[in-house]
């Protein structure tokens, strides 16, 4: 079975044809448990997410703020393994037929084996990987394996990225471009702001790939603000925080389903 990069591309194109941005949710695998994490991914899809990024919990998540670090820590203490990440992707995809990506730092893939990782992700129905710390100039071997298995390679660009650097990144990425709305780690913010809009404009000048904005979006108003200038709105910490704060797992699932519904309305108000 080859990966689902085409499903990802079709989903993003479908949102654009409806005159709206796509809603992309992030949830870590294994949080609060492996089964609970799978249920959470299904819940955000049920609420209205178009795409879900499944995080591969890592002991040194340099891009992630305290909310996601806390969830990762819970997942790691629960013994989450790469096999559990693959199972999360498989069950979420088989239940919904919607695109599921993995967001991971490079070290776990490097240790696991690139061919093994890409083959298993494709076999699970995954659409690709977001690799926030893999330098483009060192990505050739990864991309060869990802391309062979029909997987997207999503790179992250930041407001500090110069135009020539953006062009190099977007020339070799696939699926979409992840535009980090501001410098710093993940987390909810009061405003996602002008920096993100400028980054999207500069990135679009270098590529026809969809440009999706993450880091800081937490409610429907912010989703609408970003949807006005981006192809996709990425939300992670807000979902994870709801689950951390929930009194029990069922309440957590209801909360993330509800937030997905509000955000899905937000991205349609561009």
Which one of 39, 46, 60, 64 is the catalytic residue?
Answer: 64
Separation CA 37–CA 92 (nearest Å): 10
Length of the chain as a residue count: 270
Exactly one of 53, 91, 120, 231 is catalytic; name it.
53
Strand, coil or helix: 238: helix
Q: Give the C-alpha separation, 168 to 163, whole Å.
A: 9
Evaluate whether 22 touches 11 at the Cβ level (below 8 Å). yes
Tell me if 127 sits within 8 A of 7, measured CB to CB.
yes
Other Cβ atoms closer than 10 A to 249: 15
Distance of CA 232 to the CA centre of its chain: 10
Output the six-digit token pair for 210: 């969809």
Question: Catalytic annotation on 53?
Answer: yes
What backbone torsions phi and psi does residue 160 show, to the nearest 5 degrees? -80, -10
Please indicate whether residue 64 is annotated as part of the active site.
Answer: yes
b/e sequence 204-229, b meaning 16+ C-beta within 10 Å: bebbebbbbbbbbbbebebbbbbbeb
Q: How are beta strands 211-214 and 152-154 bridged, if at all?
A: unpaired
Backbone angles phi, psi at 216, to 5 degrees: 120, -15
SS3 call for 100? strand
> What is each CA distance from 143 to 52, 58, 172, 181, 247, in whole angstroms?
21, 22, 8, 25, 42
Residues catalogued as catalytic: 53, 64
């Amino acid at each position: 079975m080859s990966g689902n990069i085409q499903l990802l591309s079709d989903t993003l194109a479908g949102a654009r044809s409806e005159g709206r941005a796509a809603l992309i949710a992030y949830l870590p695998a294994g949080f609060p448990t492996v089964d609970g994490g799978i249920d959470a991914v299904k819940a955000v899809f049920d609420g209205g997410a178009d795409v879900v990024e499944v995080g591969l919990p890592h002991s040194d998540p340099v891009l992630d703020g305290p909310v996601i670090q806390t969830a990762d820590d819970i997942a790691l203490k629960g013994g989450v393994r790469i096999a559990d990440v693959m199972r999360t992707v498989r069950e979420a995809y088989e239940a919904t037929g919607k695109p599921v990506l993995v967001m991971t730092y490079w070290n776990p893939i490097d240790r696991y084996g690139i061919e093994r990782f890409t083959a298993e992700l494709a076999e699970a129905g995954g659409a690709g990987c977001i690799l926030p710390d893999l330098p483009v100039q060192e990505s050739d071997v990864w991309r060869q394996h990802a391309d062979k298995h029909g997987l997207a390679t999503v790179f992250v660009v930041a407001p500090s990225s110069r135009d020539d650097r953006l062009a190099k990144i977007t020339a070799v990425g696939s699926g979409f471009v992840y535009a980090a709305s501001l410098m710093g780690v993940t987390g909810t913010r009061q405003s996602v702001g002008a920096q993100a809009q400028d980054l999207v404009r500069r990135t679009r000048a270098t590529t026809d790939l969809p440009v999706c904005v993450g880091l800081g979006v937490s409610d429907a108003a912010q989703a609408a603000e970003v949807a006005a200038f981006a192809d996709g709105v990425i939300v992670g910490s807000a979902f994870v925080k709801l689950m951390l704060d929930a009194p029990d797992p069922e309440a957590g699932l209801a909360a993330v389903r509800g937030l997905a519904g509000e955000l899905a309305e937000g991205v349609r108000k561009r």
